[in-house]
Structure 1
Amino acid sequence: AMLEAQGAKPATVARRVASLAAAHGLSGMQERGHAPTSHVMVRAALKGLRRRRGAAQRQAAPLRFGASLDPHTKGFTLTALLGACGGDLQGLRDAALLSLGYDAGLRVSELVAVAVAHIDPHSDGSALLFIPSSKTDQEGQGAWGWLSADTMRRVGAWLVASAITEGPVFRRVGVDRRRLRAAIPPMAYEAIPGHTRHWQEKLRGKKAEPARTVYTVGTASLSRQGVNGIYRRVALSAFDQGLVEMPIAKVEEEVRALSSHSLRVGLTQDLFAAGEDGVGIAQALRWSSPSTALRYGRKLAARSNVAARVLSKIRG
């Protein structure tokens, strides 16, 4: 009741209850093998809270593949963001990050942990990605994800350009941009004021310096905040380049809704839209359960359910 009065959401209260249950188990405070939190009154209170407040959780905005996979896709897409990535070192890194994160449906903790040694290339251009540990793999047995040939081309281009041969794949790229500096003609000795400190430079003059950009690749992997920043920066660039159709008034809100979870949610929704079932999606993307995966694709699953498949044939 106190948490509800404080405005806590049903999911927050459920997590607190689960934490209490774990604490009771560790401290031996269970009665007849059951924790106090499993009492019928506790379950009824949670059920009532969900009914009053609604159980739907706020979700990360999806980054789906694009219209070539599902014509109903709207807003920012992976295709648009990839199109906005430039051919410089930063752009190559961003494109590889986006493409690999989507293909394997990675959590941000899994994405920033990708190392060169985890990628197992195949002769057809695709690859398997070893995921050493994840949220649902508490014992650290590891899992495997699939990477497309397109993703491998992008990853390969980034690794070659950055000269990365081992360690973390996705790293910070420092960018030092220097503007064009015009030439400074030499001055006659008698024209230089006597109090001038660097009179030799004025006597010699300076050659013009062209504009240049210097990139520095770090040694450590990106942070969660770094990944979020990349998604949002590239999304804004995609809009500026005309790759996304969206009212300008909505751009800031839509960009802010993107997060490091967006690619994983986007792939989940694309798979539901393609008619795949929750069990297969949960297994492929390492969701804790099919119901968890369904939470992210509930609306899209309706387009591929039994009623939609049958009625669309006779009612259009």
Structure 2
Amino acid sequence: MNNPAKPDWRSAFLRLEGAYAPLTMRAYRADVEAFETWCFDTGIPGPFPATVDMLCRFIDDQAEMKAHSTIKRRLCAIRLVHRLLDQPDPTGHPDVQLAVRRVRRKKAARPKQAKGLTKAYLERFLDAQPDTPWGLRNRAMLSLGYELLTRRSELVALRTDDLELRSDGTFRVLIRRSKMDQEGLGRISFTSRKTARLVQDWLEWRGAKIIPLFCPIYQCKPINRALEATIVKSIVKNAARNAGLDPADIDAFSGHSMRVGAAQDLLQRGVDTAAIMRAGGWKSVNILARYLEKAEHNVWE
């Protein structure tokens, strides 16, 4: 008698299209593929449905090289696939949860914090941009990302029609969708006149027919599609490198550094935490508190 075919999780995954952000979809897919590869490498013919013993062994093996947060995210992806396949979910079993707790205790560590791209760094990064189309785009991206306190995914998701030029020379910006706003209700933010000028310089070169606010440039021509979110990190690090920063400082910057640095600057100026949370679209004060720790150190100097 033939064994029943293993469930096809990839086909089930297609049902998620449009329900999650593209970055989330890629992360979940990579997590499930990591579990699938582990199963094959350990002689298990297929990952689904998973057993409690399989997951405990997977967690123990992952703990040798992966962070606690990565393991938790992979379990979320595995849980999601079981639900899509209408299979019993083993991730909530006490033995699985205990295995996760052991990893957390073994690898107790504070999350790595991105270096804040504060106003002082921003000025240096803008000055270091070349006088090229790429420099025009990157100046506008860095300045806008800082003033809007955007996540990298929010920055690359902006469209030209999300910006409204006001009579005072600033932009009113609609940030439509974010990690914490999956319904896409959005939030409103405003730029300075300086940032508005940088954006207008970019738009004048880019032209009016491009839908995304920021787009790739190929052979000095704009391409009508949005940038990948990962390019934001490269733009920040390249700006730090061009500004002559030390390698350790360059490595500490990330795609979220503009958001972190702007929040730190607002705290230094005496803006209260609730207002900073509204400006950056934070829902958890605990996450924001980690961003502001280094700024707190300077408040009393």
Same fold flag (TM > 0.5): yes
Contact 2:113 2:290 in 1 (8 A): no
Over 3 Å counting, the alpha-carbon distance change for 1:13 and 1:88 in structure 2 is: closer
Letter in 2 for 1:101: G
Contact 1:11 1:55 in 2 (8 A): no
Q: Which of 237, 240, 259 is residue 264 of structure 1 equivalent to?
A: 259
State the superposition RMSD in angstroms.
3.0
Contact 1:115 1:169 in 2 (8 A): yes
Over 3 Å counting, the alpha-carbon distance change for 1:258 and 1:120 in structure 2 is: same
Counterpart Cα distance in 1 of 2:93 and 2:296: 32
Listed as ranges, the gaps of 5+ residues in structure 2 are 1-58
Q: Which of 228, 238, 243 is residue 243 of structure 2 equivalent to?
A: 238
Counterpart Cα distance in 1 of 2:268 and 2:236: 23
Counterpart Cα distance in 1 of 2:149 and 2:108: 28
TM-score computed with the length of structure 2 as normaliser: 0.68
Find the structure with the greater CA-based Rg. Answer: 1
Listed as ranges, the gaps of 5+ residues in structure 1 are 67-76, 176-214, 240-245
What is the match of residue 254 of structure 1? 249
Mapped pair 1:8 → 2:66: yes
Contact 1:174 1:218 in 2 (8 A): yes
Q: Which of 257, 274, 279 is residue 274 of structure 2 equivalent to?
A: 279
Mapped pair 1:106 → 2:150: yes
Q: CA deviation digits over 1:180-228, x for unaligned, max 9?
A: xxxxxxxxxxxxxxxxxxxxxxxxxxxxxxxxxxx32222222234333
Letter in 1 for 2:217: V
Counterpart Cα distance in 2 of 1:254 and 1:260: 14
Counterpart Cα distance in 1 of 2:286 and 2:178: 18
Letter in 2 for 1:57: P
Equivalent position SS for 1:219: coil
Counterpart Cα distance in 2 of 1:148 and 1:163: 22
Q: CA deviation digits over 1:119-173, x for unaligned, max 9?
A: 0222222222111211111112222222111110100111112323551121222
What is the match of residue 225 of structure 2? 220
Over 3 Å counting, the alpha-carbon distance change for 1:48 and 1:294 in structure 2 is: farther
Q: Which of 42, 61, 82 is residue 115 of structure 2 equivalent to?
A: 61
Q: CA deviation digits over 1:39-83, x for unaligned, max 9?
A: 6x87776566444422311233321111xxxxxxxxxx1110111
Q: Which has the higher helix share?
A: 2
Over 3 Å counting, the alpha-carbon distance change for 1:270 and 1:288 in structure 2 is: same
Letter in 1 for 2:113: Q
TM-score computed with the length of structure 1 as normaliser: 0.65
Contact 1:173 1:218 in 2 (8 A): yes
Percent of counterpart pairs with the same letter?
A: 31
Contact 1:281 1:290 in 2 (8 A): no
Letter in 2 for 1:270: D
